[in-house]
Amino acid sequence: MPTALTRAVSRSLASCELTWLARREIDIDLAIEQHTQYERALATMGVRVIPLPELTEMPDAVFVEDPLVVVDEVAIVPRMGSPRRRAESESLAEAIAEFRPVRRLLDPATLEGGDVMRIGRDVFVGLSSRTNAAGVQQLTRELEPLGYRVRPVEVRGCLHLKSACCSMGDGRILANRAWLDTAPLRDYWLLDVAADEPGAANILRIEDTVLMPASFPHTQQIVRAEGLNVLTIDISELMKAEAAITCSSVIFDTL
């Protein structure tokens, strides 16, 4: 069954690292409630949720997707592109060790899980401000012997690859083409986000349901037109910390 690791919101979230957004006041209590609703939405979609405790002194630790990459055979602990976030990795490595062998990427590699989009045996990796060529090379060395095809994708204008595109399943990718080089995705069918919702590409599909932020109604219509159910939640306070739907969970299959 699909299983998700999540982590409680740190009360120091207001000190989060920001790259593309101006800092705004975050209502921590509301952010905590929104994260609780996120976990409930995952459970509604049939996901077993394993919540991890708050890391009080690590403002970005709720965004568990970035310090961990999980495929069917192994878990990869990357060396994160944000130096101040690297301390988040150890507790996640301990949590995933129950389910997968753990391997690590080393200096000079930098890589964050938000830059990794897996579709079957294809693993697309964003070359972004957080992930470098050495990170892609080391991930390739880990995954290609397991039968994965690792393909770098240039990212521009956003934080991570999955800010710019996410799999919709069935050979489809929801994308903001302005934020990435689409050439490596040529074997897939790209659907554009609504023109007035450039940040709407980050979605999470489980079975026939797609989880999306409530703030992108026009892109929701695009997804529904593809025959998928859409479940929406409000993550407005978390989005002030450059959050998206996928970044607050690490989802993998278990028996």
Q: Model confidence over 162-218: pLDDT tens digits?
A: 999 999 999 999 999 999 999 999 999 999 999 999 999 999 999 999 999 999 999
φ/ψ of residue 98, rounded to 5: -65, -20
Contact 247, 239 (CB under 8 A): no
Domain that holds residue 236: 2-253
φ/ψ of residue 249, rounded to 5: -150, 155
Q: Can you tell me the distance from the alpha carbon of 251 to that of 94, in angstroms, rounded to the nearest whole number?
A: 16
pLDDT band at 33 (very low <50, low <70, confident <90, very high): very high
Number of Cβ atoms within 10 Å of the Cβ of 18? 14
56-101 pLDDT, tens digit per residue, is 999 999 999 999 999 999 999 999 999 999 999 999 999 999 999 9
Provide the number of structural domains found in the chain: 1
Contact 177, 200 (CB under 8 A): no
Check which CATH number belongs to the domain holding 140 and give it.
Answer: 3.75.10.10
Cα torsion at 12, 42, 130, 61 (round to 10°)? Answer: 20
Active centre residues (catalytic): 160, 247
